[in-house]
Amino acid sequence: MPGSGNRWSLLKFKYHNAPVGMSVAHEVEEKVQRLGGPPEIAVEPVLISAVGATQAVHRGGLFNNVLTLKDLVDPM
């Protein structure tokens, strides 16, 4: 398992008026594959969206974290 220094955070920003759907998850999966980092590197996708993501995206488990704009402004 990679150590904490062996992680790349891949941030995906989306500004939509509705929760982000699986099409964004598929985009990120393709980008991770194209990135082609060394095997000792863990790529940890994070989604930052205006209003969050659909339940399908949350259940899909691709993103390490899904944040909204509100989370960034008021983290408590």
pLDDT in tens, 14-71: 998 999 999 999 999 999 999 888 889 899 999 999 999 999 999 999 999 999 989 9
Q: How many CB atoms are closer than 10 A to CB 45?
A: 20
Average pLDDT, the chain: 89
Count of domains for the chain: 1
Domain that holds residue 57: 4-73
Q: How many CB atoms are closer than 10 A to CB 47?
A: 24
Task: Count the alpha carbons within 13 Å of 1 in the hemisphere toward its beta carbon.
Answer: 1
SS (H, E, C) 12-51: EEECCCCCECHHHHHHHHHHHHHHCCCCCCEEEEEEEECC
